[in-house]
A = this chain, B = another copy of it.
Amino acid sequence: MTAEENQARFLRCIGEPTRLQILKLLTKGERCVGELARVLNKEQSLISHHLKALKKCNIVKDRQETQKVYYEITNDRLAKLIIDSEVLMKELSLCKCQEMNYGREENQGSGEEEIRSNS
């Protein structure tokens, strides 16, 4: 495993839309699997699979409390890197590639909806 292969693996692990959504939620604090699935409106098994991938790369760690399993980002510098890359991408207009979406700003499903409202 070369240095670049490891780094690439790490970047690709972060570079998946659903995992980015998960990570952005986790930058604000730990969340359990069910919450993540509910907020992001995705299947629980899908979230579990993604969390497993993130954990495998040491990007998140988990903590069990009764039935629930809470996940959080392993290190604040990681959270910062994710935000930095987002800022950079926006400021430099990177990846406006792949046709369309010039000047528009959509934001559906980005994780800012209600939570902790039921139960």
A residues contacting B by CB (< 8 A) are 1-21, 24, 56-59, 74-75, 77-78, 81, 84-86, 88-90, 92-98, 100-101, 105-110
Copy total for this chain:
2
Cα–Cα distance between A13 and B19 once the two chains are bound (Å):
16
**Closest B residue by C-beta to A15:** B11
Q: Does B8 lie within 8 Å of A97, measured CB to CB?
A: no
In the bound complex, residues from chain B placing their C-beta under 8 Å from that of A10 are 15, 85, 89, 94-95
In the bound complex, residues from chain B placing their C-beta under 8 Å from that of A106 are 1-3
Q: Which one, B6, B85, B98, B105, contacts A95 given CB within 8 A?
A: B6
Q: Does B81 lie within 8 Å of A84, measured CB to CB?
A: yes
Q: Does B6 lie within 8 Å of A110, measured CB to CB?
A: no
Cα–Cα distance between A3 and B6 once the two chains are bound (Å):
26
